[in-house]
Amino acid sequence: MATCTYCGKKTGWFADHHDACFAQYQSTVAAVSKGVSEAIRKHNNEALVQLKNALNSIDKPASVSFSDLCLMALGDWQRAVDDACCTDRTALELTAEQIAFLILFLQTVFSWLQPLPPNFRELIARYHEQIMSLQVGDTIRRICLGEGIDRLAMGDPKVDSINYLPGEFPVIVVENVRVETAQTTYLRNYGGPSFRVAPGLYWRIGQSQGQARTSLVVDEHAGHLILTNMGIYYSNATDTFYTPCTQILKRVMWCPPNDLTPKAAIGMILNLRNGKQFGFLMGSPHQSLAFVKLLSLSSAGLIHEKEQLPTSN
């Protein structure tokens, strides 16, 4: 005899839950979603205190712990961030205060998890990408308002080792990037017949012709991609190159053929004025979308460094 997924009691044959328990669980999910929406709407410290009190007071099934409620809240947070980051209107929809609160919301609710779930490392990596997306959204907002942006924090050897052009500064770095390039090989053939003149030796008549075959090859060595206000630098264990924005003819998100939406993006494709094409596999929709947006702004000459106030002795 089966037991109920939510209360742990027997349910009888051919059933894995009680209808009343399932209804209670749905009510719990709705209550968590409402609490998250209310906290994000208020976006202040008091809202987080009220959310924790609300989670503690929710009438939930016996099998649902407080940590389970926190994971539900983080899931709702993730949907809210996805909706905000996967749109071209991000810079106009979120204020600096809202972005700061969304980051604080994640950090606070994650600290409530006791014990940590088995996949907590995966969760941390996923949320780190979304925090980066929010920070990029704040950068885009400031660019659209005509404000200068903060220079990327120095201290990273990958950033410090570059001799930038006068007036050039780094904006964003993306790790674990693989580049795809087109490689052309030539196969030789002859248009005329061949005659055997000796064992293993043939005489061919006709003109030798070369047939070009082009294939796309992904570099097995992952590297990092640095966007500046003037161009992009790519470097891995075997190759390093720089492409100025003036040489970029077109830049688009790289999506799989069966899903062309921004949430399915896996990288960025660049078409250069010299006819070459590069594909950068980033593996993350957030990174891909953020990089393409900022590269568009950099190509338009809209990114400039925030003026540093003089320090007083």
* pLDDT, mean of residues 299-312: 73
> Who contacts 199 (Cβ-Cβ below 8 Å, separation ≥6)?
none
| Residues linked to residue 225 through DSSP beta bridges, in sequence order | 174, 234
pLDDT of residue 233: 93
pLDDT tens string 202-254: 666 655 555 555 556 677 788 888 999 999 999 888 888 899 999 998 888 88
How far, in Å, CA of 5 to CA of 21, rounded? 9
Establish whether the linkage from the previous residue to 115 is cis, with ω within 30° of 0: yes
Half-sphere exposure for 8 (CA within 13 Å, toward CB): 4
pLDDT level of residue 91 (50, 70, 90 thresholds): very low
Burial label for 4, CB within 10 Å (0-12, 13-18, 19+), is buried
Residues of the chain with pLDDT > 70, as a percent, come to 79
* pLDDT, mean of residues 254-260: 82
pLDDT level of residue 266 (50, 70, 90 thresholds): confident
End-to-end CA distance of the chain: 78
Query: What are 307's two structure tokens?
Result: 């003026």
Give all domains of the chain, ordered by start, each with its CATH number.
Answer: 2-144 (no CATH), 157-183+215-299 (2.30.29.30)
pLDDT of residue 53: 92
Amino acid type, 284: S
pLDDT of residue 126: 73
- Residue 43 above 90 pLDDT? no
* pLDDT, mean of residues 259-270: 82
71 in Cβ contact with 111 (< 8 Å): no
State the maximum Cα–Cα separation within the chain, in Å, rounded to a whole number.
95
Query: What are 95's two structure tokens?
Result: 């204020």
Q: Helical H runs in the chain? A: 19-42, 45-57, 66-85, 90-93, 96-111, 120-144, 157-160, 285-299
pLDDT level of residue 76 (50, 70, 90 thresholds): confident
- Residue of 199 and 3 predicted with greater confidence: 3
